[in-house]
Amino acid sequence: MSRLRGWRKHRPWLIRQALAWGVTLALLLVVVAPRESCPPVSAPAVRGAIGEGAAWLVRGQRDDGRFLYGYFSSRDAVSSAYNSTRHAGVLDALYRLGRVRAADAGLGYVRDNLIRHDGWTAFAPPGEDADVGANALVVVALVHRRQATHDERFDGLARRLARFLLAQQRDDGSILQHWRPATGRSVPDVFGKFSTGEAFYALALMRGAFPDEGWERPAHRVAGYLATRRDEAEGHSFRQADHWAAYGLAELAPAGLTDVEAAYARWLAGYFGFLVRLESQRVGRPLNPFSESGASLGTVGEATAALWRLAGEDPRLADLRADLGDRSTCLTGILLDRQVAPADPNPRARGAWFAGGYTQMDDQQHALAALLGSSAARR
């Protein structure tokens, strides 16, 4: 009888607890761990998306070679900002897509803003420091231009810019981000979140383009730094997911990766694969509170496709290849689903990837590079 009285006394509380836990479990199933959903992908759809995204960049190019930086669709306003690193990244995307004329016009802006010092050359518009990330991506763009056109006229510029990257590299493999024209010196103890990975990618590409010129050793040195020391040395509280490092590892693979570099590639594959899975769980969800930019989605797709290529080159990573191919295709479908339709009458919106009513040049750059990289994984 006492047990029955106790049940009756606590029954309302127990029912509330059961309901609360039931709702919590339902939310966990619906919000935290929903099923994956990958939108369909077709080769014609990918080609169309690439064409529209590239057209957005070309339409926004100015007379001096720079591009439309950003656009707010809600108020039909153009951003007055600009960024040299993103300019260089757009050049690379356009060269990879075969839009050589527009990319060469953008390269003209770079060539009009070069500084020279101590045997190297660097891209630095007036009032700016020479930034390792911007210069690394110009090197990347020039190597890809060479591959696309078989034109070697800018090989000397690529070498001089790459020597600037070496001048910024320290003995432990780390790379200082800035060199200041006003002082004629590197800015001490400042490292970019992405510039070290960008420099690694550039040096790895230089090794492939000019295999007998000694670029391999500094490329391995910066790869070792990224894999083992970067996070602690630069004060990161958790390991950085670096899609530029994924590109660099894929390019360096023909020369042979160390065990440390291969282990780093495996970690990157796991992390970027997780990000694709997480994003796929948000597809088609009406209560989705997240709105990823084209740049955020694109970098995940770029890394996944680069690591897929690497897994086909290095037998130590071969077990990852099928899953990486699936993830790459899934991310492609998500990008296709979120691009503004080609029928949109607004030329500043058509073909772009928006987040919160805003898009900028690197949203298109990274999304396009991801679509391009995933094409090989789907064959």
Q: What are phi and psi of 226, to 5 degrees?
A: -60, -40
In order along its 379 residues, the chain shows pLDDT tens digits of 544 454 454 455 556 655 655 555 555 444 555 678 999 999 999 999 999 999 999 999 999 999 999 999 999 999 999 999 999 999 999 999 999 999 999 999 999 999 999 999 999 999 999 999 999 999 999 999 999 999 999 999 999 999 999 999 999 999 999 999 999 999 999 999 999 999 999 999 999 999 999 999 999 999 999 999 999 999 999 999 999 999 999 999 999 999 999 999 999 999 999 999 999 988 865 545 456 899 999 999 999 999 999 999 999 999 999 999 999 999 999 999 999 999 999 999 999 999 999 999 999 999 999 999 999 887 6
The secondary structure of residue 214, as a DSSP letter, is S
> SS3 of 185, please?
strand
Q: Cβ–Cβ contacts within 10 Å for residue 144, how many?
A: 20
> How many residues does the structure list for the chain?
379
Assigned CATH for 36-377:
1.50.10.20
> SS3 of 230, please?
helix
Residue 131: name the closest of 173, 78, 84 by CA: 84
Instruction: Locate 288 and state its tokens.
Output: 């989705």
Residues 6+ apart with CB under 8 A from 322: none
Assess contact for 256 and 298: CB atoms under 8 A.
no
Separation CA 144–CA 236 (nearest Å): 32
Separation CA 294–CA 43 (nearest Å): 20
83 torsion bin: left (phi>0), alpha (psi -120 to 50), beta (else): beta
Q: Which amino acid is at 192?
A: G
pLDDT at 378: 76
Tokens 């991801």 belong to 370
Alpha helices in the chain (DSSP H): 2-27, 43-59, 84-96, 100-111, 132-149, 155-168, 195-209, 216-228, 230-233, 243-252, 259-280, 294-313, 321-338, 361-377
Residue 296: name the closest of 347, 373, 220, 355 by CA: 355
Q: What is the DSSP string of 30-64?
A: IIISPPP------HHHHHHHHHHHHHHHHHT--TT
The burial class, CB within 10 Å (0-12 / 13-18 / 19+), for 200 is buried
Separation CA 262–CA 319 (nearest Å): 13
Separation CA 255–CA 201 (nearest Å): 14
pLDDT at 8: 54
